[in-house]
Amino acid sequence: MEGKERLTSALNNTEVDRVPIWFMRQAGRHLPEYRKIAKEHDFWTRCMDVDLCSKITTQPLERYPEIDAAIVFSDILTPLPSLGYNVSYGNGISIDEFEFDHVDDWPAFDARKHAPWAGDALAEIGEFEHNKARLGFAGCPWTISMYLLSGGTGDKDFHGARSDIFSDPEAAGSLLDRLADIVGGLLADQVNYGGADAVQLFDTWAGLLSPAQYDEFGKKATERAIGVFREKSNRRVPLIHYAKGSGHLHEQIRQMDIDAITLDWRDDLRDNREEHGSLMAIQGNLDPSYLHGSQENAIEAAKRVLDQAGEGPGHIFNLGHGMAPASKIENVKAVLRTVAGEVE
């Protein structure tokens, strides 16, 4: 099997020749070839220039032939400039000030017009890469709202942003609904124009919510985004959901129209596979810290993940969160060789 068939088969819970593997944030800062580009071009140029974006997206495939998918180099905040907010990246993220009443003045969002870059890059990659899966992605409304309300990175647990949401649920609902429509349109564009084989929704900060809060502010908006995505897409492709630290929300997450749920390293992969593996694919869940230590520890940790996943179909090997800049290339290679069956 080639990577594209391997990953899409696993996402559809059908048999594969081996477990497919890719890494969240595989395209980026741990690679010296990426850092060279980053020194020469700012973040927005890296996203918007289709040739640069395509090159960055496929750098991991060139270095790591065992990887089964290319996830487009982009960011969950890429729609915000078209809504009137400057977003800068340096020591953290900085975003122009936002107020709830701004939402009424936002322009009607069209992904092809306002944020086409991910779709453009995926389409270009499809012209020369036929064997690896192409993955699109977007952020969930809740997580985007945390950054927007905080003016960027915010405090550790987004206390101020959450307080704003909880203090004015009606205005918060309007914001989340608008973001949901934008997110759904972005994902659909990556499928319709970009030719994505699957897409992933990132809800990094959903774990900050209680189950009741998630129902009101997280799940409702995410379901709306998924509905827009499904309605606007010209074909059905697998949808993966990721939310860090969200084990207490998994029952609610599994109720949504998704094809795979991603576990972080704190979740019990074996239990999840045994209880829910027949219902949907499960992705994860190596602790990314193992990419920072010894190769031996990385290999043993990868073997444990494979053991906990078991033999049945529907497992995609990934990290429990994104790769950090200090990830060691030799450890990444060791994990890939382990999953590919090249390490005993």
Structure tokens belonging to residue 198: 């699957």
The torsion angle over the Cα atoms of residues 195, 200, 201 and 204, rounded to 10 degrees, is: -140
| pLDDT value of residue 225 | 98
Is cis: bond before 12, omega within 30 of 0?
A: no
- Residue 247 to residue 254: CA distance in whole angstroms: 11
| pLDDT value of residue 253 | 98
Closest CA to 287 of 301, 303, 297, 299: 301
| pLDDT value of residue 90 | 83
| pLDDT value of residue 344 | 77
DSSP 101-169: GGGGGPPPP-HHHH--HHHHHHHHHHTT--SSEEEEEEE-HHHHHHHHHHTBS-STT-HHHHHHHHH-H
Consecutive H or E run containing 88: strand 87-90
Tell the CATH topology of 3-339: TIM Barrel (3.20.20)
- Residue 91 to residue 88: CA distance in whole angstroms: 9
Residues of the chain with pLDDT under 50: none
The answer to whether 247 and 204 have CB atoms below 8 angstroms apart is no
Closest CA to 165 of 136, 179, 191, 145: 145
pTM attached to this predicted model = 0.97
- Residue 117 to residue 114: CA distance in whole angstroms: 9
Distances (CA, A) of 192 to 111, 125, 309: 11, 14, 33
- Residue 37 to residue 300: CA distance in whole angstroms: 33
| pLDDT value of residue 343 | 84
Structure tokens belonging to residue 121: 């890059």
Quickly count: other Cβ atoms within 10 Å of residue 219's Cβ.
Answer: 22
The 10 Å CB-count burial string (b at 16+, else e) for 157-175 is: ebeebbebbeeeeeebeeb
Cβ contacts of 320 within 8 Å, gap of 6 or more:
244, 263, 264, 265, 266, 267, 284, 285, 286, 287, 288
The answer to whether 182 and 103 have CB atoms below 8 angstroms apart is no
Place of tokens 């060139």: 62
The answer to whether 147 and 88 have CB atoms below 8 angstroms apart is no
- Residue 323 to residue 204: CA distance in whole angstroms: 14
Structure tokens belonging to residue 3: 């990577």
Percent of the chain residues past pLDDT 70, beyond the cut = 100
